[in-house]
Chains A and B, each alone.
Chain A
Amino acid sequence: MRTLRAFVVITVLVSAATACRARDRATPAGGTAPVRGGELVVSVRTDPQSFNWFTKRDGTTQLVTYLTQARAVRVNRVTQETEPWLAEGWTRSEDGRRYTLTLRPGIAFADGQPFTSADVVFSADAAYDEASVIADGVMVGGKRLQMTAADPRTVVITFPEPFGPGLRILDNLPIMPKHRLEPTLRAGAFGRAWGVGAPVDEVTGLGPFVLAEYVPGQRIVFTRNPRYFRKDANGVQLPYLDRVVVQIVSDQDAEVLRLQAGQVDMSGAEIRPEDYAPLRRAADAGRVQLLDLGVTYDPDSLWFNLKPGAFGGDPRAAWLQRDELRQAISLAVDRKAFVDTVFLGAAVPVWGPVTSSNKKWYSADLPHPPYDPARARQLLASIGLTDRNGDGVLEDAHGAPARFTLLTQKGITSLERGAAVIRDDLKKVGLVVDVVPLEGNTVVKSFLVDQQYDAVYFRVGTTETDPASNADYWLSSGGSHVWNLAQKTPATPWERRIDEMMARQIAALDDGERKRLFDEVQKVFAEHLPVINFAAARIYVATSTRVTNLTPTLLRPMLLWSPDTIAVKH
């Protein structure tokens, strides 16, 4: 038929066009020591919502902050230890509540203004301002830190109570220029300061780069900060790069295409499992570098609504909130097959919220019960769920089927696949699961605000490896204690135990003691399983072959947390 022939003609023409391959970029030979100069192109998913990290927490604003601002004390993501940054050293008082920081001499902001302790104190004030959203990250037990400038090079920080992590907290506080922002802070307009509409020369900082240009929807350009305070081991002035161009590419497929074509050097985040194969091929052809960063710090999480009375008169309340149900579910899911199906093998099975990548806090002594559906059925029978009519589905004492709804986030392949696997595995032990994929905002609202749901399958992100910094998750009064948020008093005895141990863990100053306490917390957690974790994905990032001297870590931004030491080959 003519139309069919026409169709074939069109297909042939198009295939011929796509057969022409892109030119292969020859990788230049590079020396071993990083060389100064060159440009780096990074791609991010969204526009920045602000240039002021204190008011907006999106990923691009975070990247802008890493490029243009510096901290007094930095947490080295690779070693997980604190290191002097703008401060060159510090002493700690006996009771551990007072730290005296000595700042480096002769440092100036990018616009020339000298840096003093007054800027550090000002930054803390700004962090506690009404308009700031980072206040929680710089508070201990809900109380502020007291900062005083003893002299232009000395800052005294007083903690309201003993705090184990100590100065790690300062990693959350970029140092802002007092001379630029104080007027707006005093006027109560800090919330609008340094918005994306601000002229670029207004934004200044102590970081390795300076904001040079912002074209909305397209790109942000940064140039070297000639006054940056750091030098490398050979005395070479950092940063190595002359320019950083941040391109805004919202589609992940387009980003992968650009990486393969060499138009982008790196992305701000990890690659998806489905992009692994084409990038592996590109890496084998010498066009990209593929880096395996290890297992993520955040495994997936399945939890039930454990708020007392959440199910009202619903007869399912008798079994939906029981520990045995969750223990049974943990036994009923084959984690090895889960890893293969959901992450294509690029993950490891986990049994708790802390993964082996978190070397300092991971507890290897926790039980790892193997896949055991028979035992799962026993546990379910012990809370009254058995198959009373032989239809393959468990029923409770009244004959109502054991059925619940599982909310998950639409658009995240690993979550949707994971939910499907969980549904199928639980069907085999007789539990019926209705998977409802919803838009992210809707899911978050269901468990955070309404607290009206049966169960949720989600990925709760952590930003720090130290559990004291994630207190909101562990403490029953915390806002991230997802299965039963913000309790006034702990609803269960085991949550009370965790609360007590975490309180001691946060306040203790001895690392060994803190580890022991947290191991105990993880043990209680594994017994009662308020959250069931199945697998933790491996994290891969891809960069062009020009980039050298990388310090990859698992927390975002994986490569750009240390932008001053990244170099490119010429």
Chain B
Amino acid sequence: MIAYVVRRALVAVLLVFAVSSASLVLTRLAPGDFVTESLGTHASREAMERMRERYGLNKSIAQQYRDWLAAAVRLDFGYSLQYDRPVRELIPERAANTAILAVTALGLATVIGLPLGVLSGSRRSGALAALVRAASVVLLSMPPLLTSLFLVFVAARTGWFPIGGMSSAAVTGGGALLDLVHHLVVPAAAVGLPLAAMLERLQAQATTDVIGEPFVLATLARGVPYSRVVWRDALKPALRPVASVYGLIVGTLLSGSFAVEVITAWPGLGKLMLDALRARDVFLVAGCAGTGAIFLAFGTLFSDLILGLVDPRARE
């Protein structure tokens, strides 16, 4: 078991470096660079060349990569071209914000999605199952941009929730937590509701599959009430597909959702990543991709561990 985890951790490190390197190279290959983006038509050729030299953008891709790698093994991931701050400082700041959102959204999604999935999958009540399915499909087919915009629009019209942002300016001390929760509702709903829909669909399908198995028939034949069978005996095997993607979901959530973060002005990692790409901020891009890789590697490991717990047949 320990050996397994250690092996996976080593592979994860390798994965992180591979992804960061690929991102750095790809960003250099992309058209334009930081200098054209920030100075554009407002500067002379000399000023642009000077800036390129200052940021090291006039080096070849191979040279820049080698320099970056040499520093990275010493855990120095370079400076962001946009903000002139070490990437090492910039990312954890934003990642923490995204983590708060991710955990809340995941909690919301699990609490709503899984039980509803079991309910609609066991098809106890036809009307409820149809309603839940319709709601899930609505949430799944709406683009995240549209969902966030709709929720922000509702927040603006009703005035119940702040129109974006993570905190209010003049709140300190004890009120800060309440203020945070108040600001969390809309973004967490924007991320959590579609996720709940996905979990519900997966769980419903899995529940339906399991209830069709012989052992369920046998248990019912013994006289065990149906709801007991659904929530006790059939639950563990029915959790298998969700468990297999759960860690993955955690990993993806921690990388942030760009659409939600932009519309709700949540200062998270997703927005940082895409802004870095737009600005061709090569080191920040590599750092963000690497961070995403860390989260995902952790996520898949977590996933495989849960899977082992839930399904003994799948254990090593």
Direct contact of A and B (CB under 8 A): yes
Chain B's closest residue to A196 (CB) is B83
Q: Chain B residues near A215 (CB, 8 Å)? A: 167
From B54, B135, B263, B280, A191 is in contact (CB under 8 Å) with B54
Contact B159 A23 (CB under 8 A): yes
A529 CB, nearest partner CB in chain B, Å:
19
Chain A's closest residue to B261 (CB) is A250
From A50, A445, A479, A485, B32 is in contact (CB under 8 Å) with A445
Contact A251 B263 (CB under 8 A): yes
Known interface pairs A254-B264, A258-B163; A460-B134 also in contact (CB < 8 Å) = no
* In the complex, A130 has a CB within 8 A of chain B: yes
From B38, B44, B265, A249 is in contact (CB under 8 Å) with B265
Residues from 149 to 186 in B contacting A, C-beta threshold 8 Å: 149, 152-154, 156-159, 162-167, 169
A299 CB, nearest partner CB in chain B, Å:
15
Contact B93 A20 (CB under 8 A): no
Q: How many A-B residue pairs have CB under 8 A?
A: 175
Q: Chain B residues near A219 (CB, 8 Å)? A: 169
Contact A254 B89 (CB under 8 A): no
* In the complex, A245 has a CB within 8 A of chain B: yes
Instruction: Count chain B residues whose beta carbon lies closer than 8 angstroms to a beta carbon of A.
Output: 59
Q: Chain A residues near B167 (CB, 8 Å)? A: 215, 218
Q: Chain A residues near B36 (CB, 8 Å)? A: 441, 444-445, 448-449
Chain B's closest residue to A440 (CB) is B37
* In the complex, A247 has a CB within 8 A of chain B: yes
A107 to B26, CA, bound (A): 52
A-contact 0/1 string along B99-137, CB 8 Å cutoff: 000000000000000000000000000110011011100
A248 to B134, CA, bound (A): 37
Residues from 468 to 482 in A contacting B, C-beta threshold 8 Å: 472, 478-480, 482
B78 CB, nearest partner CB in chain A, Å:
13
Contact B158 A17 (CB under 8 A): yes
Q: Chain B residues near A10 (CB, 8 Å)? A: 134-135, 138
From B152, B164, B278, A441 is in contact (CB under 8 Å) with B278
Q: Chain A residues near B71 (CB, 8 Å)? A: none
* In the complex, A216 has a CB within 8 A of chain B: yes
B-contact 0/1 string along A32-56, CB 8 Å cutoff: 0000000000000011011000011
From B31, B47, B149, B263, A135 is in contact (CB under 8 Å) with B47
* In the complex, B271 has a CB within 8 A of chain A: yes
Q: Chain A residues near B163 (CB, 8 Å)? A: 254, 257-258, 261, 263
A131 to B41, CA, bound (A): 19
Q: Chain A residues near B42 (CB, 8 Å)? A: 57, 461, 463, 480
Residues from 355 to 406 in A contacting B, C-beta threshold 8 Å: none
* In the complex, A22 has a CB within 8 A of chain B: yes
Contact A136 B51 (CB under 8 A): no
From A18, A196, A480, B158 is in contact (CB under 8 Å) with A18
Q: Chain A residues near B153 (CB, 8 Å)? A: 18, 257
Contact A131 B262 (CB under 8 A): no
Contact A218 B165 (CB under 8 A): yes
Chain A's closest residue to B150 (CB) is A14
A56 to B165, CA, bound (A): 25
* In the complex, B97 has a CB within 8 A of chain A: yes
Contact B47 A445 (CB under 8 A): no
From A47, A135, A449, B83 is in contact (CB under 8 Å) with A47
Chain B's closest residue to A3 (CB) is B134
Known interface pairs A130-B50, A257-B152; A441-B43 also in contact (CB < 8 Å) = no
B28 CB, nearest partner CB in chain A, Å:
13
12 CB contacts below 8 A, A to B, read A55-B84, A57-B42, A136-B44, A251-B262, A253-B152, A254-B263, A445-B33, A461-B42, A472-B44, A479-B44, A479-B48, A480-B42
Contacts from B to A (Cβ < 8 Å) = 31-33, 36-45, 47-48, 50-51, 54, 82-85, 89, 93-94, 97, 126-127, 130-131, 133-135, 138, 149, 152-154, 156-159, 162-167, 169, 262-265, 267-268, 271, 275, 278, 280
Contacts from A to B (Cβ < 8 Å) = 2-4, 6-7, 9-10, 14, 17-18, 20-23, 46-47, 49-50, 55-58, 130-131, 133, 135-136, 191-192, 195-197, 215-219, 221, 245, 247-251, 253-254, 257-258, 260-261, 263, 439-442, 444-446, 448-449, 460-461, 463, 472, 478-480, 482, 485-486
> What 4 pairs across the A-B complex have the smallest Cβ distances?
A217-B267, A441-B32, A445-B32, A2-B130
Q: A57-B42, A197-B84 are in contact. List 10 more A-B contacts (CB 8 A).
A: A2-B130, A21-B157, A57-B38, A195-B84, A197-B89, A215-B167, A254-B152, A258-B163, A439-B32, A479-B43
